[in-house]
Chains A and B, each alone.
Chain A
Amino acid sequence: MSDDFWSERDTTPDAIEAAMRSMLRERHAENERLAPARVLNLVVIVDREWKGEIANRLERAGRYHGSRTILCAIEEGRTTLDAVATVSYDNPEDRLGVMWEKIEIDLGCEHLPGLQTIIDPIIVSGLPTVLWAPHRHDDAVRTLLGLIDVILLDSDDFPSAAEAFERVFAVRDHAYVIDLAWLRTTPWRERLAASFDLPARLRALEHACELDIRHRDGSSASALLLAGWMASRLGWDPEPLSLHTGDRREGTLANGDHEVRIVMRESHQEAPGLAGVTISCLPDLSLSLERGWGGLEATERFGDGGVKQWKILGASRGEGGILGDGIRLALLREPTYWPALNAARELSEA
């Protein structure tokens, strides 16, 4: 991978945009097999002191990144815009090469009320624009809402799940929301769907009586979203769960003529997100999925004492992979998140 650079202190959006255009034109003139990627704009708002960490996280998103990434680092007291622009490309001899663009802008709090006038000139028009503000910066986000198509956030990053879900509802009218906490539940949802796909299993699901979710400390939003998804898909009536010490939640939901007990509890693990899920169905079946190396460990228990265990293969995406998935999904639309979120919000309202 090669890079072309441009930088300027005390610069302007027009100068940044002109520099990008010039670098792309020169590189293409030198090698016409190099073409700029045109997928989406990714605007990232971060605290200046954590800029390096977020840049690393974006690197780990793998091939899923914005074709033009604009990283705005906010620094208390700064009065000028300083920018570094990079065009990165590989240079294959026998096929098309793609150029990726990154612009890092250091700016001050005083720039935030007019942030849209800084970003607007430098995004590529005609492409979807995705906003990610991992350190919140709600004021900056607010100013950009008219400019963006998709907002990427992480419900697990908020002080509480309830606060996170309120935030999602507050921005949903302005942009399509992709929630990284929801994406952490994807493999679990896929495997639960697969485990109950056979007709006999689907019938057993009608008699589900308990859903037990284990999650890492601070990932209760993921757990609530998974429970909300089950409730919304299966027609369980969501009710607020009672909150106990250690972020343990429990409650009972009506499922037609019987009830489903919901339990959520913390479990020690390094990675954010879920650690395990158990669904018990009357009269005598329970299925547990536990996070393991190289996939999920599945265990089925039957009323006669019989136990079956196996591994469901799949590599961990890691947090970088989840962020990459979030960026990729900015191009798609997911129909089940909102019903799940609605249910999760009701479950969280203790």
Chain B
Amino acid sequence: MPAGLAGLENPLTEGLERLPVHPTSLVIFGATGDLAHRKLLPALYNLAHEGQLPERFEMVGVGRRDSEHEQFRDTLTESVRRYSRRRPDEQVLCGLIEDSRYVQGSFEDDLVYTELARTLAEFDEQAGRTLNRVFYLSTAPEFFPLIAAKLGAAGLNCIDGADTRIVIEKPFGYDLESARRLNAQVLEVFEESQVYRIDHYLGKETVQNLMALRFANALFEPVWNRNYIDHVQIVAAEDIGIGSRAGYYDGAGALRDLVQNHMLQLLALLAMEPPTAFNAEKLRDEKLKVLEAIVPPTPAEVPQMAVRGQYGPGVVGGERVPGYLQENGVPPDSRTETYAALRLHVSNWRWAGVPFYLRTGKRLARKLTEIAVILKPVPHVAFQGHGSVGIQANQIVFTLQPDEGVAVSIGAKLPGTRMQIRPVNMEFRYGTSFLSESPEAYERLILDAMLGDATLFTRNDEVEALWGVVDPILEAWRDDRNSPMPQYESGGAGPAEADALMDDGRIWRRL
């Protein structure tokens, strides 16, 4: 008998691509909502298809919509058929849904939790063991503290012999104060190690690949500092408007919707020191150090480092589109920004003096998410007088969408008798270099939550640090009711005012 078995390490798991997941009951609050319909339920199906769910897996949907178990199963089936990334295998789909349950009721109602506890106990009884519990809060954010408290009151926040975890969707708070309050409310009931705050960007392959490229290659790290990097641009541009989300969006705005979470996470991953180990605590410690090194602006500094804007009417994809204030459900005097651009500095030894430019907006020229690391120019160019198209600084560009990949721009000689230089790209694209299709971010994150791996989830202090960066800007914008809101034409690159953020002759990359 190997020594490992005596120490209760499972010798059968070595070398397996798919590690065992402890038998689990997954409870989805908001199971009839849009996120569950489009993302969560199809993700669960794909995990089942690939044999990645635990050997004993049970699912309970909790929702306010009046529905029976059978109707919930029909909804689940429809979600999978419509949104799964692969055509479902009917036998697997049938196996996934046949024992799923639905608990109907208001989230305030104690009876919902009583019924939930009874259902979970029934699953445990059937399995002959206590199943782990994962509560997934896919609801409007105002219900997060309520559901956490009710789970605690019903004694569902922990159980002997198994693990209980709670997964909380974004937005985690509305500003720094509300995030602190929410953290406190959740942590009154659950330990921090039980809380999985989800930011689905972190489940994307390219985001994880950012770490692989930085820390598994000797090529990049030597230049990854203020000595070689001139500045960094992070862009998350969308070509669509707010659609039918006016109710949510007008209360949030671009800064809360994308900058506070996704974009600052990208910045942290790009700028962090190499973690000593790839585990949840080490990785999140390093990200936190970066976020804490971003000095928040004073109210007087905000206009110099942050620009907001609203999209006006314009033409996108050849079609005329309305401006933000003309969208259904948007108040005509709304001052919610649909565009935000920031210049941030990470005040530490590695990054001192290197500006990080962030820009996001709706109804821009195209859909694009990328991080561009622009290196400093070479100190002397001997070919200047030979009619080169232009000798540009090298750029390392990580693209998240529409194509996932990395490109390095370098100067190369044009064929011919003269020493003429032009920039060319060395590109790596996921689609061309790997056989595997990237799984949906939610598949990875749901599986990680069931495995108890919090590496790709956001810790409480990290959430507060993220809000700490944007809070002064939110306050300054909220207090400024008089200065005109910069407008930009739909289908363009954003407001001209954003150009003023780019100092020392730098310019925004073309979208």
Contacts and interface: CB of A to CB of B under 8 A. Distances in A.
B66 interface: no
Nearest to B429: A96
A163 interface: no
Contacts of B12: 189, 192-193, 196-197, 230, 233-234
State the main secondary structure of chain B at its contact with A: loop
Contact of B22 (A65, A197, A300): A197
A45 interface: no
A205 B8 CA distance: 11
A31 to B, nearest CB: 14
B16 A313 contact: no
Interface string B32-56: 0000000000000000111101111
Nearest to B11: A233
A15 interface: no
A107 to B, nearest CB: 28
State the main secondary structure of chain A at its contact with B: mixed
B159 to A, nearest CB: 15
A313 B96 contact: yes
A52 interface: no
Contacts, number: 136
A313 B57 contact: yes
Contacts of A159: none
Which one of B1, B12, B402 has the highest number of Cβ atoms from chain A below 10 Å of its Cβ?
B12
B435 A334 contact: no
A60 interface: no
B302 to A, nearest CB: 37
Interface stretch (B87-95, B147-155, B340-348): B87-95
B436 A313 contact: no
Report the contact-size class of chain A (Cβ under 8 Å from the partner): 35 or more
Interface string A313-336: 111100000001001100100111
Nearest to A333: B15
Which one of B2, B56, B405, B432 has the highest number of Cβ atoms from chain A below 10 Å of its Cβ?
B432
A195 interface: yes
Contact of A314 (B15, B49, B94): B49
Contacts of B427: 35
Contacts of B94: 294
Given A194-B55, A336-B15, A315 B92 contact: yes
A64 B128 CA distance: 40
B434 interface: yes
B5 A202 contact: yes
Interface stretch (A36-44, A76-84, A169-177): A36-44
Report the contact-size class of chain B (Cβ under 8 Å from the partner): 35 or more
B21 A194 contact: yes
Which one of B15, B18, B403 has the highest number of Cβ atoms from chain A below 10 Å of its Cβ?
B15
Contacts of A198: 22, 129
B217 interface: no
A191 interface: yes
Given A192-B12, A313-B92, A39 B434 contact: yes
A64 B435 contact: yes
Contact of A202 (B8, B90, B129): B8
Interface stretch (A2-10, A142-150, A213-221, A304-312): A304-312
B251 interface: no
A187 interface: yes
B244 interface: no
Given A300-B128, A314-B49, 5 more contacts: A193-B12, A194-B21, A199-B8, A312-B51, A336-B14
17 contacts: A35-B429, A35-B432, A36-B432, A37-B431, A38-B432, A39-B435, A190-B16, A197-B10, A197-B12, A234-B1, A294-B91, A310-B55, A313-B95, A313-B96, A315-B89, A335-B15, A336-B14
Interface of B: 1-2, 5, 8, 10-16, 18, 20-22, 48-51, 53-57, 89-92, 94-96, 127-129, 402-403, 405, 427, 429, 431-437
Interface of A: 35-39, 63-65, 67, 94-96, 98, 187, 189-199, 202-203, 205-206, 230, 233-235, 255-256, 293-295, 298, 300, 308, 310-316, 324, 327-328, 331, 334-337
Closest 10 CB pairs of A and B: A294-B91, A314-B51, A194-B20, A193-B12, A336-B15, A197-B20, A315-B89, A313-B48, A293-B91, A96-B403
